[in-house]
């Protein structure tokens, strides 16, 4: 009885070990199952999903116009304080003074890509971009101004 | 074609010897020169072999793990291991403050020396052997068990608690598994009646022992492969290193070239045990012969004997690598259980069976 | 100078080693002080606090819309469940009804992250025991799940998809197709996990009869999740205190009575299949409708105390909020599953070997940032 158990355990063990070796042997001979992606080489073909949150961007149209009214909802909704909006008073053609953004400062180094500023924005002036290669040699390069120089608010956006 | 096939290491060696004899007349000087040349050739060969095995291990592991493996340095990543060696060369040969500095720096040397010593009696091709010692099997098994000294030395002198535990494990492990290795080698020694590796290879001219010796020799072969995997501290028996438990075990404190020497010793040891297994059980450089079929045997003889030897060795190396990349690690008590409750009793009974077989002449 | 006997041993002649805070198998910065007798463990003492980021204190300065996002950084493998717990506690306080579509999507995503979390457990359990290959087999499927998360939620780990009242955006168009692909891939490859690791005799011997946690101890130590269920304790929040419509879904609570590491492995392997089962029930029945209930722009919770628990991949996560009626929590407290589960380690690893301690840590499946918060 003891011998039966003894040899039974040996054979079942060898069987389980051979099952594992069969699997690794299968993958050793089937190179088409390899899942590695060669990242810097496949950069051209690499397509991030549309929703991927890589950084905050402010789209400008061809007339260099953005949609940010400077309402500061994003600044308030940001949990990390990575957005700072500096506004100015701008005299409109009809003579009225209106609040417009001067600089839209984005601290990429503090951003956690939670996307809450984009959610809070009432005019969809900011979006999450797909760019993810943010590495820089110095931290100062991670402080960005999102509104382009000379840009202005698109007409009709309030 | 005929000349190409008859070209072999042995004829090259003979030519070298004759040429040197003409140049150097002093007998002693001639011997020393030849020894130095052999030593340098062997070292270069082993370093290249360690490079190749390092590359092979990475590729084998990668393919089994659905990865590509090294593929940046050189074509298909072949020079990756060279780049790594250069990196290790440039690293600081650091000795910890609290370490026993003499033993700490001696240990890698001891380990690599024992690894190199065991290479001596291996027959690489027909008539090409560095040292045809008549107790080759005994020599290899005794020299390879000396590796434990180096590992204990490294573990103790590092003055690191993890290293110490690793060294302690090593003592228990190598001493235990030595027994099974010896017994499984004895089963072939019994059948052959000789301890010389050359004689053992010659005895397989009409068929390799693994085919001639029925099931008992097959069992010895399996036990030898398992026990030698444990002897050279490779996964699943790598309790001495046990990265996940001991963060590197006995070589935790080593860096740079000293660490590279441990790595090289590991690969040389891997080559040695595989070469011994190939020699003892798979006929070494002996081509695949079937007793009686002269025509078939003649065709097999066309393949050079060194190719036979290295392909068999590489096959066993591959098996041992596959062990490493398939199985999880054993626990220390399970490791000793496996030896003392399974491998040792089975190999003892097996030796009896083989002896019976040898006396009755039941093998082919 | 070689370390003398007095340096290796403490006053009582015990050999003390520190496993961690930097150690390959603590999965983070956990420090276990271990008293050894040869290879045998006499005592284990966990030391915490190496990754304390004061998330609870930070939450006091966040609005009720903001405070959920940072919980993704606690148990980063159950980010959805953590976000969900925060959303649920606000909904409970405001008595907001979550739209049916949002509930179903929440459950699907939570079960997906449970699946991916258990896959990571499988991967790291193999790795901790020295088998590197299972890691890659499990990560192949996990990668597919992460891709879905990336396509749907915009991030792979810290998704921040659940907001008070529902979910942040609607699903992407081919969500259902992608989920079905992943589930098929998972089910086709499930047998490989058994072949490479779970069925392996070495793995089974390493796991069986190691670190036995009895039912009484599990209750006394406050263990939850797969750890407690392996000890025979029925503690699935999804069954006992259903939230977000779990009461309408057919699934089994996997309960085993072994209590050892092997039982914990089996519970997790079975829970993966249960998660697949739940997703399969829901994936073709996502109701149409709103994805988020209307809430005020600035959420203010009524004065009082609110508690909500959810079942994360590792056990019960409780969110306790004290509100003074303002727009930020007055006090926020997380009852994290890993903290309680960690306390089982000193108890169950006594008398085992060093290798067993690693196996126990692997099967308890700790996420260190969740312990310290």
- Per DSSP, the residues of B238-292 read -TTT-HHHHTTGGGTT--HHHHHHHHHHHHHHHHHHHHHHHHHHS-TT-----TT
Q: How far is CA A64 from CA A97, A99, A128, A129, A153, in A?
A: 21, 18, 19, 18, 9
**List of residues 6+ apart from C287 with CB closer than 8 A:** C100, C101, C104
Q: What is the total count of domains within chain C? A: 1
Range A4-11 contact pairs with CB under 8 angstroms and sequence separation of 24 or more: A10/B342
DSSP letter, residue B233: T
Does C1 contact chain B (CB < 8 Å)? yes
Does C293 contact chain A (CB < 8 Å)? no
Q: What is the pLDDT of residue B3?
A: 42
Q: Please state, rounded to an integer, the average pLDDT across all residues of chain A.
A: 84
Please tell me whether residue C18 adopts helix, strand or coil conformation.
Answer: strand
Best residue in C40, C133, C143 for a mutation probing chain B (most B CBs within 10 Å): C133
DSSP letter string, C166-204: EESSPPPTTHHHHHHHHHHHHHHHHHHHIIIIIT-HHHH
**List of residues 6+ apart from C101 with CB closer than 8 A:** C286, C287, C288, C289, C290, C291
- The b-or-e profile of B256-273 (16+ CB within 10 A means b, else e) is ebbbbbbbbbbbbbbbbb
Q: pLDDT band at residue A73, thresholds of 50, 70 and 90? A: confident
Cα of B277 to nearest chain C Cα, Å: 24
The closest CB to that of B327, out of A10, A20, A33, belongs to A20
- pLDDT at B107 > cutoff 80: yes
- Cβ neighbours of C133 in B, within 8 Å: 61, 64-65, 325-326
Q: What is the pLDDT of residue B126?
A: 74
Q: What is the pLDDT of residue C69?
A: 84
Q: Roughly what angle, to the nearest 10 degrees, separates helices B256-281 and B101-117?
A: 30
Does C24 contact chain B (CB < 8 Å)? yes
Average pLDDT for C274-278 = 90
Q: What is the pLDDT of residue B210?
A: 77
Residues 117..156 of C with a Cβ closer than 8 Å to B: which?
Answer: 126-133, 135-137, 140
The closest CB to that of A77, out of C66, C151, C200, belongs to C66
Q: Please state, rounded to an integer, the average pLDDT across all residues of chain B.
A: 83
Distance CA B214, CA B121 (A): 27
Chain A residue closest in CA terms to B338: A10
Q: pLDDT band at residue C1, thresholds of 50, 70 and 90? A: very low
Cα of C27 to nearest chain A Cα, Å: 23
Of B196-205, C144-153, C249-258, C364-373, the range with the lowest mean pLDDT is B196-205
Distance CA C304, CA C331 (A): 11
- pLDDT at C135 > cutoff 70: yes
Does B219 contact chain A (CB < 8 Å)? no
Does C266 contact chain B (CB < 8 Å)? no
Chain A residue closest in CA terms to B69: A36
pLDDT tens digits for B15-32?
Answer: 777 887 777 777 788 888
As to burial, measured by CB atoms within 10 angstroms (0-12 exposed, 13-18 middle, 19+ buried), residue C309 is buried
Average pLDDT for C246-275 = 88
Q: Roughly what angle, to the nearest 10 degrees, separates helices C354-364 and C100-128?
A: 170
**List of residues 6+ apart from B171 with CB closer than 8 A:** B148, B152
Q: What is the pLDDT of residue C132?
A: 85
CA B47 to mean position of chain CA atoms = 14
Chain C residue closest in CA terms to A74: C66
- pLDDT at C306 > cutoff 60: yes
| φ, ψ for residue B135, nearest 5 deg | -120, 45
- For chain B, list the contacting chains (3+ Cβ pairs, <8 Å): A, C
CA C21 to mean position of chain CA atoms = 21
pLDDT tens digits for B186-214?
Answer: 888 888 888 888 888 878 777 777 777 77
Phi-psi region of C28 (alpha: psi -120 to 50; beta: other; left: phi over 0): left
Q: Roughly what angle, to the nearest 10 degrees, separates helices C261-283 and C100-128?
A: 150
User: Are residues B238 and C130, on separate chains, in Cβ contact within 8 Å?
Assistant: yes
Cα of A114 to nearest chain C Cα, Å: 6
Q: What is the pLDDT of residue C358?
A: 87
Cα of C198 to nearest chain B Cα, Å: 11
CB C148 within 8 A of CB C174: no
- For residue C165, count other CB atoms closer than 10 A to its CB: 23
Does B330 contact chain C (CB < 8 Å)? yes
Q: pLDDT band at residue C13, thresholds of 50, 70 and 90? A: low
Half-sphere exposure of residue C276: CA atoms within 13 angstroms, side-chain side: 20
Q: What angle do CA C338, C342, C345 make, to 5 degrees?
A: 155
The interface predicted TM-score (ipTM) is 0.83
Q: Which residue has the higher pLDDT, B27 or A19?
A: A19
Average pLDDT for A146-155 = 78
Does C92 contact chain B (CB < 8 Å)? no
Q: What angle do CA C63, C68, C69 make, to 5 degrees?
A: 105
- For residue B35, count other CB atoms closer than 10 A to its CB: 11
Distance CA B65, CA C368 (A): 27
- The b-or-e profile of C359-368 (16+ CB within 10 A means b, else e) is bbbbbbbbbb
Distance CA B174, CA B144 (A): 10
- pLDDT at B4 > cutoff 50: no
The closest CB to that of C200, out of B98, B168, B327, belongs to B327
Nearest to C256 by CA among C237, C233, C232: C232
- pLDDT at A102 > cutoff 70: yes
Best residue in B331, B335, B336 for a mutation probing chain C (most C CBs within 10 Å): B331
Half-sphere exposure of residue A68: CA atoms within 13 angstroms, side-chain side: 30
Max CA distance (Å), chain B? 68
Q: How far is CA B269 from CA B58, B135, B139, B145, B317, in A?
A: 17, 19, 14, 11, 11
Q: pLDDT band at residue B363, thresholds of 50, 70 and 90? A: low
User: Are residues A119 and C163, on separate chains, in Cβ contact within 8 Å?
Assistant: yes
User: Are residues A24 and B71, on separate chains, in Cβ contact within 8 Å?
Assistant: no
Distance CA C231, CA C227 (A): 7
The closest CB to that of B63, out of A17, A20, A27, belongs to A27
pLDDT tens digits for B321-330?
Answer: 888 888 888 8
User: Are residues B328 and C200, on separate chains, in Cβ contact within 8 Å?
Assistant: yes
Chain B residue closest in CA terms to C125: B328
Show the DSSP H helices in chain C as ranges.
5-8, 55-59, 79-94, 100-128, 133-153, 175-193, 201-207, 215-221, 225-229, 237-240, 261-283, 337-342, 344-348, 354-364, 368-372
Q: Determine what percent of chain C is predicted with pLDDT higher than 90.
A: 2
pLDDT tens digits for B228-275?
Answer: 888 888 878 888 887 778 888 888 888 888 888 888 888 888 898 898
- The distance in angstroms from the start CA to the end CA of chain B is 34
Of A15-19, A138-142, B360-364, the range with the lowest mean pLDDT is B360-364
**List of residues 6+ apart from C373 with CB closer than 8 A:** C52, C53, C54, C55, C56, C74, C334, C336
- For chain A, list the contacting chains (3+ Cβ pairs, <8 Å): B, C
User: Are residues B66 and A36, on separate chains, in Cβ contact within 8 Å?
Assistant: yes
Does C203 contact chain B (CB < 8 Å)? yes
Distance CA C79, CA B34 (A): 69
User: Are residues A51 and C153, on separate chains, in Cβ contact within 8 Å?
Assistant: yes
Nearest to C75 by CA among C358, C313, C344: C313
Average pLDDT for A97-126 = 85
Please tell me whether residue B33 adopts helix, strand or coil conformation.
Answer: helix
Q: How far is CA C291 from CA C103, C110, C174, C207, in A?
A: 8, 16, 17, 44
User: Are residues A25 and B325, on separate chains, in Cβ contact within 8 Å?
Assistant: no
Which residue range forms the structural domain that includes residue C256?
5-372
CA C242 to mean position of chain CA atoms = 18
Nearest to B160 by CA among B250, B243, B238: B250
DSSP letter, residue C76: G
Average pLDDT for C182-207 = 88
Chain B residue closest in CA terms to C4: B159
User: Are residues B329 and C130, on separate chains, in Cβ contact within 8 Å?
Assistant: yes
Distance CA B124, CA B284 (A): 8
User: Are residues A16 and C65, on separate chains, in Cβ contact within 8 Å?
Assistant: no
The closest CB to that of B332, out of C8, C200, C353, belongs to C353
Average pLDDT for C339-355 = 87
Residue with tokens 């441990």: B262
Q: How many CB pairs under 8 A join B and C?
A: 96
User: Are residues C137 and B66, on separate chains, in Cβ contact within 8 Å?
Assistant: yes
Phi-psi region of B127 (alpha: psi -120 to 50; beta: other; left: phi over 0): left
- pLDDT at B341 > cutoff 60: yes
Q: Determine what percent of chain B is predicted with pLDDT higher than 70.
A: 96
User: Are residues B61 and C127, on separate chains, in Cβ contact within 8 Å?
Assistant: no
Q: What is the pLDDT of residue B9?
A: 61
Residues 329..348 of B with a Cβ closer than 8 Å to A: which?
Answer: 342
Distance CA A91, CA C122 (A): 64
pLDDT tens digits for B266-322?
Answer: 888 889 889 888 888 888 777 777 766 777 777 777 777 778 888 888 999 999 988
Does C40 contact chain B (CB < 8 Å)? no
Does C116 contact chain A (CB < 8 Å)? no
Residue with tokens 């019994």: B190
Question: Between β-strands A55-57 and C166-167, what pairing exists: parallel, antiparallel or unpaired?
Answer: unpaired
Q: How many CB pairs under 8 A join A and B?
A: 36
Q: Which domain CATH number covers C183?
A: 1.10.645.10
Omega cis (within 30) before B199: no
């Amino acid at each position: 009885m003891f011998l039966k158990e003894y040899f039974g355990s040996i054979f079942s063990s060898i069987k389980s070990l051979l099952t594992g070796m069969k699997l690794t042997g299968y993958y050793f001979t089937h190179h088409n199952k390899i899942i590695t992606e060669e990242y810097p080489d496949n950069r051209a073909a690499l397509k991030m999903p549309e929703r991927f949150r890589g950084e905050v961007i402010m789209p400008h149209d061809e007339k260099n116009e953005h949609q940010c009214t400077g309402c500061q909802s994003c600044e308030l909704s940001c949990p990390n304080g990575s957005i700072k909006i500096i506004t100015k008073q701008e005299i409109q053609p009809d003579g009225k003074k209106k609040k417009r953004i001067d600089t839209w400062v984005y601290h990429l180094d503090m951003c956690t890509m939670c996307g809450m500023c984009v959610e809070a924005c009432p005019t969809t002036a900011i979006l999450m971009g797909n760019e993810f290669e943010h590495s820089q040699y110095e931290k100062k390069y991670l402080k960005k101004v999102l509104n382009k120089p000379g840009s202005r608010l698109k007409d009709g956006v309030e | 074609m005929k000349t190409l096939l008859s070209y072999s290491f042995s004829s090259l060696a003979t030519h070298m010897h004759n040429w040197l004899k003409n140049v150097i007349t002093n007998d002693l000087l001639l011997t020393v020169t030849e020894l130095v040349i052999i030593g340098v050739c062997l070292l270069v060969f082993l370093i290249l072999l360690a490079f190749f095995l390092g590359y092979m291990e990475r590729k084998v592991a990668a393919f089994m793990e659905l990865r590509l493996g090294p593929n940046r340095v050189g074509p298909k990543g072949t020079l990756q291991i060279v780049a790594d060696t250069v990196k290790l060369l440039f690293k600081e040969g650091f000795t910890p403050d609290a370490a026993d500095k003499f033993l700490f720096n001696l240990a890698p040397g001891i380990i690599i020396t024992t690894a190199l010593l065991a290479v001596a009696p291996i027959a690489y091709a027909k008539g090409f052997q560095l040292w045809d010692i008549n107790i080759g099997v005994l020599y290899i098994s005794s020299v390879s068990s000396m590796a434990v000294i180096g590992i204990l030395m490294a573990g103790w002198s590092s003055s690191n608690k993890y290293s110490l535990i690793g060294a302690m494990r090593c003592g228990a492990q190598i001493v235990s598994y030595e027994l099974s290795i010896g017994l499984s080698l004895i089963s072939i020694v019994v059948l052959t009646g000789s301890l010389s590796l050359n004689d053992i290879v010659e005895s397989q001219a009409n068929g390799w022992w693994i085919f001639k010796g029925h099931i008992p020799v097959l069992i010895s072969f399996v036990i030898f492969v398992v026990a030698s995997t444990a002897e050279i501290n490779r996964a699943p028996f790598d309790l001495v290193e046990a990265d996940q438990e001991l963060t590197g075990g006995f070589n935790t404190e080593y860096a740079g070239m000293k660490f590279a020497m441990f790595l090289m010793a590991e690969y040389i040891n891997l080559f040695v045990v595989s070469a011994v297994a190939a020699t003892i059980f798979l006929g070494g450089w002996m081509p695949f012969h079937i007793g009686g079929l002269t025509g078939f045997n003649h065709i097999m003889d066309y393949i050079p004997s060194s190719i036979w030897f290295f392909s068999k060795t590489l096959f066993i190396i591959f098996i041992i690598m596959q062990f490493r990349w398939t199985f999880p690690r054993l626990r220390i008590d399970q490791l000793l259980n496996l030896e003392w409750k399974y491998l040792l009793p089975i190999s003892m009974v097996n030796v009896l069976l083989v002896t019976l077989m040898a006396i009755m002449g039941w093998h082919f | 100078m070689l370390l003398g006997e007095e340096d290796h041993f403490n006053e009582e002649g015990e050999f003390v080693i520190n496993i961690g805070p930097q150690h390959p198998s603590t999965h983070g910065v956990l420090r276990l002080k271990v008293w050894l007798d040869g290879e045998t463990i006499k005592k284990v003492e966990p030391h915490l606090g190496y990754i304390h980021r004061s998330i609870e204190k930070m939450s006091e300065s966040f609005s009720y819309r903001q405070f959920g996002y940072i919980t993704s950084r606690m148990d980063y493998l159950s980010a959805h469940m953590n976000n969900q717990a925060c959303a649920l506690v606000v909904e409970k306080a405001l008595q907001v009804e979550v739209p049916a579509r949002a509930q179903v999507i929440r459950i699907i995503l939570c079960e997906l992250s449970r699946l991916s979390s258990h896959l990571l457990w499988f991967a790291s359990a193999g790795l901790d025991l020295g088998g590197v290959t299972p890691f890659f087999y499990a990560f192949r499927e996990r990668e597919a799940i992460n891709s879905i998360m990336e396509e749907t939620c915009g991030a792979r780990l810290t998704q921040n998809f659940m907001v008070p009242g529902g979910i942040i955006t609607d699903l992407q168009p081919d969500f259902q197709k992608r989920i079905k692909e992943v589930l098929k891939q998972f089910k086709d490859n499930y047998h490989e996990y058994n072949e490479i690791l779970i069925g392996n005799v070495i793995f089974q011997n390493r796991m069986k009869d190691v670190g036995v946690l009895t039912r009484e101890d599990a209750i006394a130590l406050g263990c939850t999740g797969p750890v407690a269920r392996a000890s025979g304790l029925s503690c699935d929040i999804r069954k006992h205190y259903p939230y977000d419509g779990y009461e309408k879904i057919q699934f089994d609570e996997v309960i085993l009575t072994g209590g050892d590491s092997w039982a914990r492995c089996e519970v997790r392997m079975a829970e993966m299949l249960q998660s697949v089962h739940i997703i399969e029930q829901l994936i073709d029945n996502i109701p149409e409708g709103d994805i988020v209930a209307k809430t005020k722009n600035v959420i203010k919770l009524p004065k009082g105390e609110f508690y909500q628990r959810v079942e994360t991949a590792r056990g019960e996560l409780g969110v306790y909020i004290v509100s003074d009626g303002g727009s930020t929590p007055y006090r926020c407290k997380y009852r994290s599953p890993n903290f309680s589960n960690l306390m089982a380690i000193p108890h169950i690893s006594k008398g085992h070997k060093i290798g067993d301690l690693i196996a126990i840590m692997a099967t308890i499946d700790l996420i260190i940032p969740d312990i310290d918060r």
